[in-house]
A and B are shown apart, each in its own frame.
Chain A
């Protein structure tokens, strides 16, 4: 018996030492890590799928450090009916095996988004490789175009680049775009989603290469607003670092984000080398894209959803009508929704705080702080109310999650489902009240004159 035990223990030790010291399956240097996927329409029922993968030999640069820009990523495009078929095909083209667990974003073209993303969400939700928090974004310029334009100038890790860009933007005017939330929306039918717009900056050189279709994203900019567009003469052919699409973005003349341009992805001037950017939001009804909103309305949407966190905003000031006051606005508390089903009323109470960041030099805000707070409350409230009301009347998209907010009024799913089927929020009256407080005035506090 003792001999058997010794043999068993020896066998176990040998088994462990042989099996636990190596990688199961592939060695890391045999794997190509996908960081982004792009999906465009193609001929027939196929998609053109762009696989963007990290180039590890350029990322780890030894003592000199890794490279940046286009050197750290490679793109490969194949035509296939879905993501995994494309990866299977691409595996035959490159020496390494593609691996999806580091993929950070799936970019779809506008055509694909308008056709519907149900099949794509079905793929990622079944996949163990793709993470549930992978970002989804819509590119009006085409997914391949966007991924080809991505040249991270300040990052050596391309997956990190997408994470930083889309996490940072989640603080401001674009939605978080989590694939998991998008899936929840279309599966439960409790709400609809917004996804970020991933655009390509149009400079003279780029426009020549890609034709004139690239401006399609800008056509619907500020679709809900009444902003007036101002002419921008700056985008000349002789200035290759200028963005010609910038002139298409309308300038906002309303109180909230006064004098700011209402951009969607591809319209703002950005880094000289990296022509990709993310701004504005694509509106979805179920799994289908039905429109876009710009960065200003995107900020209002985040404010109304309580996802704003903080950012800098400009507010119209009656004392200095030519120049706005810039505030660092913080949303300390989620807005409170009161939906009166019987009287068909939606009441939203928002709670905001702000620090004064910048204002005209000859204006003494300290002497006028109460009035400024009141006027800011009025402008922010009016603009958010107008946006929400127009949005609900324009689209059948419940991106404000109004149905979900009514859930607590019902005891069982059956009664809630009946309500969901019958409710028409277009008939509801929207009212937004803002509670806004200036907390700090920077490092300066001027005395009253």
Chain B
């Protein structure tokens, strides 16, 4: 069982981590220097979706368990596999992007396969240890990561140019509020909250974790995008694959402080390892409850293997980044719609009201 603060920290990690990789570029390409406004708009949208879901949802059964209650094993397997596929699509990108980034910036002379293998071994060990220890380590490490992010933003102050975020609406209102809706996929990992509902103390605690994680995750995303837009003018800003790394490289305080990226790479690596361990655990857990398996650990190796094989499918970083936006377009409708649909279903079984089920359903 996870405490509320651990679940919150875990959700903050899974939501914000994408911003440390290639995701900010999708915002920049869409809205140019107004990417931060797009992130604010996405935050508003996701809050509406989240509050709609929590209004509907009853009990602390996740969508897979509710599918079984509503439509038997067949529906449960269908929903379970859908959720697994969504998680796999999300995760396989990270399994490839992170080692590729490590190769580009740290281990240029290493084979990518060797880096991927080392990385998946590390996350397999994390998943093997289990959710609770990983969540605890994540909870302890997140303040360190937060302090580094804060220092990072402060050290960037000399490089901020207000004119870089002008004209304020970038590519225009249509780009921000129309096409920009799609980047709500940034928050698609809020699906974790639903899958891991049985690990929460009760539905009320889970809801509070969700709200707090969304506020902090959205805050981090907006700040990172705003910082990036203030330092890098458009269209130069759309050219860099890993914007946050690019920001870290730029920090140079006279002759006594530079190469901040070394600290960034340390924090980045730990966060990705924690994120990936949670992901592998969750994918195994989905499989476990879908097929009523007694243990999840024997599933770690096949899950890691499947993820690695899918991750290696794109021929190059170019192909991989090209498919990023398409993947997120597939993922986010499912990630947001499933909890809403099964939230409505849950009312059939836990229809007596939220307040009552919060007190009755304590585990």
Contact = CB atoms under 8 A, between A and B. Distances in A.
Contact of A412 (B170, B246, B258): B170
A25 B109 contact: yes
Sorted nearest first, the 10 A-B pairs with minimum C-beta distance are: A407-B166, A187-B236, A410-B167, A412-B172, A188-B233, A408-B166, A133-B252, A416-B167, A412-B169, A404-B163
A235 B344 CA distance: 92
Contacts of A125: 239
Interface of B: 32-33, 104-105, 107-110, 125, 163, 166-173, 232-236, 239, 246, 249-250, 252, 254-255, 258
A132 interface: yes
A325 B169 CA distance: 50
Interface in A172-210: 180, 183-184, 187-188, 190
A128 interface: yes
Given A187-B235, A411-B168, A163 B255 contact: yes
A140 to B, nearest CB: 28
B236 A183 contact: yes
A2 interface: no
Contact of A131 (B104, B168, B249): B249
Given A410-B166, A411-B167, 14 more contacts: A132-B249, A133-B250, A133-B258, A164-B255, A167-B254, A180-B250, A184-B232, A184-B233, A401-B163, A407-B167, A408-B166, A411-B169, A413-B167, A416-B167
Chain B CB count within 10 A is highest, among A131, A413, A415, for: A413
A346 to B, nearest CB: 16
A187 B239 contact: yes
6 contacts: A12-B125, A131-B249, A187-B235, A401-B163, A408-B163, A411-B168
Interface majority SS (helix, strand, loop, mixed), chain A: helix
B219 to A, nearest CB: 26
Contacts of B172: 412-414
Contacts, number: 69
A407 B163 contact: yes
A344 interface: no
Given A160-B255, A188-B234, A128 B250 contact: no
A401 B166 CA distance: 14
Interface in A188-237: 188, 190
A273 interface: no
A410 B169 CA distance: 9
Nearest to B107: A24
A132 B247 CA distance: 10
B171 A412 contact: yes
A141 to B, nearest CB: 28
Nearest to A408: B166
A115 interface: no
A184 B236 contact: yes
Nearest to A164: B255
**Which of B125, B167, B169, B172 gathers most chain A CB within 10 Å?**
B167
A405 interface: yes
Interface string A132-143: 110000000000
A167 B250 CA distance: 16
A413 B236 contact: no
A102 B235 CA distance: 28
Contacts of B255: 160, 163-164, 167
